[in-house]
């Protein structure tokens, strides 16, 4: 890894040395297994392949100036994966098992954790799948939980760059009483058509509206949406949004900075009154949004001056990034040093 240009690494798959796996059989989780194979061997009638019994998480390990490796709010990822498991009738991964396997996957691949100072990190992908055989529609009796990792570069290679987003009305990411609030693969399959079409039309991401009334904002693709107006941090509340840990943390930081936080339905008409808007999630922390274009009406909302992110988004981004890398005090006990 000596000659790696950490600042230029893409956000993508990167082969490392080990991954860890654990199998749920006969009503219980077995021993943790370490593997150096990149493939898994599963039955062709496994429920994950037919009926979408699959949930995942996305988190990162960060190396501080002190050389130590840090995890950020891993308990929240563990709890969210349990909610995902409950939502699609899979076996829950106990919090301790989740922790042990994440730590093991990071430690075994420690040489792949990028050095401090490039904005790079080790991406961690926990994955829970139904492996039991079923042809009739019902939950599997057997599951596999695995964790693999890989180094990723900073999301924005040339600094913190605002993006263009397309508002779509002819596709929904999730139904109001569906699975939008849990991190399951099926939600992503359902969002691919709209997001690939948006890319062809020149937009790196889409903004989905709440499916029932099409009046309120739901999510910005695989990220939560937030807006800044005066001294307020505003973020949508909806049953079909995936509760982002990054958003939860930004709400706390905004409050710590003396801002007022509003989590409530956010109507599309409000877009013209916001000073800054952005998308947030583990991959980028914040993707500042420069413009939003409604695909149907052509209406455009503009936010950035000279192609730059707004001052509040920038401050929030720097603060959260600083906490994750250990450069800022961890006043809420969010960081676990390995």
Extract the tokens encoding 234.
Answer: 């505003």
Among 8, 65, 157, 183, the one annotated catalytic: 183
Distance in Å, CB of 252 to ligand PLP, minimum = 13
**Which stretch, 21-29, 118-126, 134-142, 219-227, contacts ligand PLP (CB under 6 A)?**
219-227
Distance in Å, CB of 322 to ligand PLP, minimum = 17
Distance in Å, CB of 172 to ligand PLP, minimum = 13
224 bridge partner residues? 280
CB 259 within 8 A of CB 243: no
Beta strands 143-152 and 232-235, pairing class: unpaired
Distance in Å, CB of 174 to ligand PLP, minimum = 8
**Which stretch, 98-106, 159-167, 208-216, 242-250, contacts ligand PLP (CB under 6 A)?**
242-250
* Chain residues 136-195 in contact with ligand PLP, contact rule CB under 6 A: 183
- According to the binding rule CB under 6 A, does residue 120 interact with ligand PLP? no
- According to the binding rule CB under 6 A, does residue 281 interact with ligand PLP? yes
What Rg, from alpha-carbon coordinates, does the chain have?
20
Burial 224-261 (b: 16+ CB within 10 A, else e): bbbbbbeeebbbbebebbbebbbbebbbebbeeeebee
Binding mask 55-74 for ligand PLP (x = CB under 6 A): ---x----------------
Outline where DSSP puts E strands in the chain: 19-25, 28-29, 33-35, 54-56, 59-63, 69-72, 121-130, 143-152, 163-168, 205-208, 224-229, 232-235, 260-263, 276-281, 285-294, 300-302, 335-337
Distance in Å, CB of 163 to ligand PLP, minimum = 15
Tokens 């050389």 -> residue: 67
CB 272 within 8 A of CB 338: no
- According to the binding rule CB under 6 A, does residue 91 interact with ligand PLP? no
Q: Measured from the CB atom, is 53 or 224 closer to ligand PLP?
A: 224
Q: How far apart are CA 115 and CA 118, in angstroms?
A: 7
List the one residue from 84, 166, 282, 313 that touches ligand PLP (CB under 6 A). Answer: 282
List the one residue from 121, 131, 166, 224 that touches ligand PLP (CB under 6 A). Answer: 224
Extract the tokens encoding 94.
Answer: 């106990």
Residue 115 backbone dihedrals phi, psi, to 5 degrees: -65, 160
Is position 111 annotated as part of the catalytic site?
A: no
- According to the binding rule CB under 6 A, does residue 287 interact with ligand PLP? no
- According to the binding rule CB under 6 A, does residue 223 interact with ligand PLP? yes
Q: Please work out the total of residues on this chain that contact ligand PLP, with binding judged by CB under 6 A.
A: 13
- According to the binding rule CB under 6 A, does residue 244 interact with ligand PLP? yes
Distance in Å, CB of 234 to ligand PLP, minimum = 17
* Size of the chain, expressed as the number of residues it contains: 338
Catalytic residues: 183
| Contacting positions for ligand PLP (CB under 6 A) | 58, 183, 219, 222-224, 242, 244-247, 281-282
């Amino acid at each position: 890894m000596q000659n790696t240009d950490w600042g230029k690494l893409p956000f993508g798959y990167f082969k490392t040395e080990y991954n860890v796996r654990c199998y749920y059989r006969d009503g219980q989780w077995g021993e943790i297994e370490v593997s150096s194979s990149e493939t898994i061997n599963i039955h062709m009638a496994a429920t994950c392949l037919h009926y979408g019994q699959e949930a995942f998480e996305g988190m990162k390990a960060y190396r501080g100036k002190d050389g130590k490796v840090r995890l950020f709010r891993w308990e929240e990822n563990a709890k969210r994966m349990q909610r995902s498991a409950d939502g699609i009738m899979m076996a829950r991964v106990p919090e301790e098992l989740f922790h042990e396997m994440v730590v093991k996957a990071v430690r075994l691949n420690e040489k792949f954790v990028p050095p401090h100072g490039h904005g790079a990190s080790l991406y961690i992908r926990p994955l829970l799948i139904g492996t039991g055989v079923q042809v009739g529609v019902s939950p599997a009796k057997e599951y596999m939980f695995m964790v693999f990792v890989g180094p990723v570069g900073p999301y924005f290679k040339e600094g913190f760059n605002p993006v263009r987003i397309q508002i779509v009305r002819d596709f929904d990411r999730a139904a109001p009483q569906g699975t939008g609030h849990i991190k399951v693969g099926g939600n992503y399959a359902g969002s691919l058509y709209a997001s690939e079409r948006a890319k062809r039309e020149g937009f790196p991401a889409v903004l989905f509206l709440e499916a029932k009334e099409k009046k309120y904002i739901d999510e910005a693709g695989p990220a939560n949406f937030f807006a800044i107006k005066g001294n307020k941090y505003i973020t949508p509340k909806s049953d079909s949004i995936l509760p982002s840990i990054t958003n939860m943390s930004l709400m706390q930081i905004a409050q710590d900075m003396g801002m007022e936080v509003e989590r409530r339905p956010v109507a599309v008409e409000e877009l013209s009154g916001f000073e800054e808007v952005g998308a947030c999630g583990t991959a980028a922390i914040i993707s500042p949004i420069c413009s939003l274009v409604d695909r149907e009406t052509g209406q455009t909302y503009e936010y950035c001056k000279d192609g730059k992110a707004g001052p509040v988004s920038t401050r929030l981004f720097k603060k959260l990034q600083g906490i994750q890398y250990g450069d800022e005090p961890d006043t809420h006990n969010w960081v676990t040093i390995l």
